[in-house]
Structure formats: structure tokens, C-alpha cells
Structure 1
Amino acid sequence: MGRMKIAIMLRKWSWRKPRGDLTFRRFKYSKSHVQDDDVAMSSSRLRVGVLGLGAIGTIFFTRLGLLATNLKGTTKFPKLTVDAFIRPKRFENWVQSQTFQLNILQGQKKETLHFCIAPSNKLATVWNAPHVRIRTLTSHDNQTSDKVDVLLVAVKAYDSTNVVQELWETKRHMLQNDAICILLQNGLGHEVPENSKNLEMSWQFLNGVTFIGGRMINFGSVETSGLETGMTFLAPMTQVHCHDIETCKRMKRINVVAQIFQAAGLRCEVLETSAMQGMQWRKLIINAAINPLASLLNAPNSSVISSQSSRDCIKMVVEEAIAVAQSEKIVLGCSQDELLHEVVEVANNTGTNICSMLADLRRGSRTEIDAITGRLVQGGERYGIATPVNRFLLLLIQALEKEGLRRNDSTTSVSK
């Protein structure tokens, strides 16, 4: 795969509301460069796993599951098996709710997977599609045919390192020896545990960044925004060069994954490692501009571009964030005005979405503020860059977070 560089159309910064059809099409890589031949060169069977059915995990699993149920008789793709892995307690609660569905909602549109439940085995399979399943993490099936080729880890940034460690230490039987592990990211919190880098197995870790918005209504139901326009980007954590057959084979497998995501209606592109670093930072800055402010406004994402005051706040957040990125030698590949325009595009495309930070605060749960705004403040401290606006937002969200956790603890104590 040739080197991909970030190419952005120069646009004069404007605070006018963008058109609803604006997407990330101005990037050179906004359309997939994966060739159909890559799919044909893959194996005849591919098992994909999704770890965690939060908002993003549910969206990806549902779309992939719907694709798998409709691939019968086609030769373009390998036979696709899709498994979701959740905690036993979550599975039990789902069974007790008797919903037996996964739904993603987009306006008036609803996409659903219907399941048959086997409570004793902690297993749920889609009607007439036994190769699309929800399982628990307690399975100890060591059959080679049941191991996952590609695992999408869709958990909170603060959980990612521990999850990878747990996978390696206690759930190794779930994955093939050469499995691809994709860590979807909503900040800069994903890291591979140090001791996993020298282990005998050869899992390949990818960073993933998605611009799809999702809000959990309850387990099994997610309201999404930006699903048709939001891009997902994948890249190896370490630079890959096709110097040998095995390395080239791995790159082809990554391209097959991107092609399958595309077929499932999840716009996807594979980047080089160097390009992904800039993309991760751009996603970080966009999240830092939208999530804390929308959370403090207690409103959907569109609220951050609905007034001059909120737009001024966004501009100050972005200015500080870019200064930190520059001090860390990060190549963003865009100007401040262009990045501000991206913030507006994302806020507009996901306008009805309640960001995950606000959803967490409403539930009294821990947020990802430390991996987003906290990361910017930390970087500023390291390099002597002033970040007063981001620091203020960080302190406010942390205060709200602690208050919510305190209320939850009090409620739990009373219920006991």
C-alpha cells in the first residue's frame, strides 16, 4: 500500500452552520483504496469478535451481524462469523429483560438483530444465523475453528490496557495465534502492555479511530448519528513494511477487514502508522472541543455550535490543543481554521447525539475526561504550554464526575 498523506482542501474558517451533507470527503483517503482482489486473496472463512457492547460496540456488531446474515451464497467475501463478548452479569441482566434484540436507531430508521437465547450456556444466536452470536467471557472452548481472527476492542480508554492484559493472561484461547486486535479509541489512552510485546504469540495490534456517534438508551439499544457519513480509520500500532511474505499477508488481512467494514456500511480506511498519529490527535482535539462543553451544557452535540459564546469556547480549546500538539511534534496536516471547521462538521453531523461523556455523567459513571482533556493538560504541563481553558473544563467535569460517583455509592449503600 502506497504512502497516504493527509490532504485537506483549504477552507476559510467560518462559524456559519455547515451544510448537513458535509463529510470528511475532503481527505485524500476518504474513499477506500482496498481492492476486491484483496478479499479474494483472503481465507474462505473469517471470524470477527467484538469485545464490549457499549454504544460503539453495539453499532459495529449489529452492522457486521446484519452483513453476516446476508452473505449466504456470495463468493466475494469469506464466510463471516461474528461474535460479541460480554460479562456474565451483563448477559444475565439482558436475559431477564426479555428483549432478546440489539437495535441501532437513526432517526426513524431502525436496524435490529433478533436472538434465540440459551441461558444455561450463556449464549445467544441470531434467528436462522447461528454464526452471529453473543457470548460471555467465561467460555473455555479451545477448538481452533471457534477462535477469533479479528477482535474489535470497544471499551473505555481507561479500561483498554487492562482488557488487553486480561485477554493475554486469561482469555488467550479466544483468539488465533496471529489474530488482529483493533483498539477503537476515544482519546489517547490505548496502550499495549509492555510484557505483551515480547510474547511468543504474534497478535497484531491496530489503532482505530471512528467518527460515528452513538448513545446507549439501554443495553441492546443505541441511538446513532453520523453513521452514514462518519469515517473509521485503522492503522498498525507499529510501522509495517512488506519486506517478506508474512508481513504482506498481514497487510492484506487488514485490508480485508476494512473491506468488510465498508460492506457493512461502516465507512473505513486503512492508514499508515505515521498518518494515524495525526488522525488520533485530530479526533482527540475534536472530542476535547465538543464533549466537555456539551456535557456542561447538558445538551446534544449541536449545542456547542448553537451560540457565539459556545463557539468562542471551542476556539479557545482548539488553540490550546494545537499548541500542545505542536510542542509534541505531532503533524496534524491541517491549519487551525480547518480543524475548527472539522469540529463544526462533526458537531453538526452528530448534532442529535448525546456524547458519551454526558451519558456517563448522567449515569453517575466514570468519564473519559482524563484521556481527552486531561491528556491535553498533561501535555501542556510537560512542555510548558498554558492550557487554562482546558484545565478549567477538566476540573469542572472531574467535579461533576466525583459527585455522580458519590451519589451512586450512597444509593448503593442505602439499597444494601
Structure 2
Amino acid sequence: MKIGIIGPGAIGRLLGYTLAQGGHDVVLICRREEQAERFLQTGVTYVDPDGQEHHAPVQAVVGGVEELDGVIVTVKSYDTESAATQIAALHTQAPVLSLQNGLGNAETLARHLDPDRIALALTTHGATAEGETKVWHKGRGQTVIGSLVPPSTAGAFWAELLEECGHPAALSDDIRREVWSKAMVNIGINPFTAVLGVQNGQLLQESEILPLMQAAVEEAERAALAEGVVLQGSFQRVLDVCKNTAENTSSMLQDLQKGRRTEIDAMCGVIVQVAEKSGSSAPYNFFLKKIVKKCETKRSKLSSLEMKGLFDEFLQNN
């Protein structure tokens, strides 16, 4: 089959290599001609968890491509709208898989595409992009896939395809709940590591910050409930992930370190919107969104005491 991947970053390259090794024609849809040319010259360079380097040939284009059998979206959440319009312009009814961070990506895609075509996925595989074409597979994990609108077969299409290529995938009958559940963990970890400039495990040692993390996550759980998603025990999952990924650098911290825009709008920003829509407020998530946005424009690393002080001042004045 011919599979297009919009967003050849770390996860896009990982899936591209997997599908190419499985015998499929992979088309990486790039923004820049320079990157497309590099992929055409070298293919995807994949470094497995044992440090061994492998290569797989791929096609690469800038813009659209016709006659695809499937499209995978791995762009940052703030680029989902652009990807959706790009897919709509292809005039194809091929199934679409969103493997992205944050909340609201499915809704954005569904505004432009038939919801029955759409599947969502979450993965715990660790991957890091290097240069234009290389991806380091830092750790094997699990990929969960589900149709946006059950009983659509979109989820099963992607799960079967990845399984055939040696990438285990589990089907979920409630992928929306899975997405919200992962968002709780992201909200409890990513903004705090980004502002403090620390790896995940260090958060467990920040006694001043742990109560703020818990408050932000519980606030997000209430927003989920307002959307009909019942979640419990999310903060304990945050602590477990911090422990199990102690040496990891969160994607949000990586974005700040590289001077890139973060996905805070698709995390804490959505929580604020949902809370306001339901007639309540989400001050902890509002503050996190505000402070991360500030770090995007003026990179500054705070201590835990400084961050708590700003939190307390904000809450007192609002």
C-alpha cells in the first residue's frame, strides 16, 4: 500500500521506517524542499534501541500527493488544521490516523474530513529525531488505536497494518477516553518540566511543586468530566510516569530548548476552554498556559520556589 505521512518528525520517521520495512510505499510529506531531498537521497535512518543503525528508502514530497491508501498525521497540534485542509484537498477517501499529542486534534480533523475515516492513536514508544532524516528509537512501548466514531473500521485498518509490519498495536473501543487520560499525564508533567528545566524524575523531588501538579491535574479531570469523560487516579499515574521515565526530557522542554512553539494550547489551553464553556474556571491550567507562553518568547528557567511564588501571586489576584 501507499501511505502518506504528514509531519516527518520523530514519530513520523519511526512509523515511516516501520511501514517501509514492512514492504509498503511510504511518502513523507515535508514542508521544506531541503528535507524532502535528503529523504530521497538517504531514506530514513533508524537507530534501534540497541544502537544499531538501519536504513529504509522512502519517497518524499512537498505539498500533496494523489492516490494514497492511507494518511498518517504526526504534526504538532497547532498544525493540525493545516494538515486537515491538505488531506481534504487530496480528494481521497483513504483512512486517516492521528498520532499526536494534546486534545482537540480529532475535532479539528473532523471539521474537514468524514469522521468515519478518522482513527486516533497514542504511543509510549520513545523516539528522538536527529538532523533531517534520522530517528533514534529510545525505548519500545505500546501503541493504542481506536476509531473516532465506532463502529467505523478505521482503527482496525491501522492496527492490522502496523501489526503486519511488526509494530504491535492494541485496539481500544474508547479511544477518546484514552486521549483524555494521556492528556492528564501530559498536563501534570510537561509544563512543569518545561518551566523548571528539569527531567521528568526531578519533579518527584520538588516538594513545593507537587501540590501544584496535583491541583492542575485534578482541575483537568473536572474538565474531562464536563466533556463526559470520567477519569480517576490521574495524579497517581503522573507520579508513576515520572518515576518510570525519570531520565526523559519532556517534549515541551525539548521544544523550549530548541526555540520552538510548544503544544501548551492543546493541553492546558483546552482545559481552560472546556472549563469556561461549562461555566467554571481552571486557574491552575490558565496559569500554566500563561507562564509557558512567556517562556516561548523569553526563555527563562525558574526554580521551584520562584514558580510556586508566581503561582501563589496569580491565585491571590484572580
Partner of 1:351: 246
Partner of 1:64: 19
From 27, 51, 54, the counterpart of 1:112: 54
Q: CA shift at 1:282, angstroms?
A: 0.6
Aligned residues: 297
SS at match of 1:240: coil
Distance 1:256 1:181, change over 3 A: closer
Q: 2 CA distance for matches of 1:203 and 1:89? A: 33
* Structure 2 residue 27 is the aligned partner of structure 1 residue 83: yes
Partner of 2:207: 308
Given the two structures, how large is their TM-score scaled by the length of structure 2? 0.81
* Structure 2 residue 150 is the aligned partner of structure 1 residue 235: no
* Structure 2 residue 78 is the aligned partner of structure 1 residue 136: no
Residues 146 and 172, structure 2, Cα contact 8 Å, conserved in 1: yes
1:99-131: per-residue Cα shift (whole Å, max 9, x none)?
66523453x4344215xxxxxxxxxxx2xxxxx
Partner of 1:286: 185
In structure 2, list runs of 5 or more residues that go unmatched.
Answer: 300-318
1:242-269: per-residue Cα shift (whole Å, max 9, x none)?
xxxxxxxxx2x74353133235453322
Q: Write out the 4+ residue segments of structure 1 that deviate beyond 6 Å after TM superposition.
A: none
Residues 86 and 136, structure 1, Cα contact 8 Å, conserved in 2: yes
Bigger proportion of residues as helix: 2
From 77, 83, 99, the counterpart of 1:184: 99
Partner of 1:8: none
**Deviates further, 364-373 or 382-391:** 382-391
Partner of 1:117: none
Structural mapping, 1:208-357, within 5 Å: 208-225=121-138, 227-229=139-141, 231-240=142-151, 251=153, 254-272=155-173, 275-332=174-231, 335-336=232-233, 339-357=234-252
Say which one has the larger Rg: 1
Q: CA shift at 1:154, angstroms?
A: 0.6
Partner of 1:74: none
From 119, 136, 146, the counterpart of 1:206: 119
Q: CA shift at 1:387, angstroms?
A: 2.6
Q: 2 CA distance for matches of 1:95 and 1:47? A: 16
Percent sequence identity over aligned pairs: 25
Given the two structures, how large is their TM-score scaled by the length of structure 1? 0.63
In structure 1, list runs of 5 or more residues that go unmatched.
Answer: 1-45, 69-79, 115-125, 127-132, 242-250, 405-416
Partner of 2:72: 152
Higher relative contact order (CA closer than 8 Å, sequence separation 6+): 1
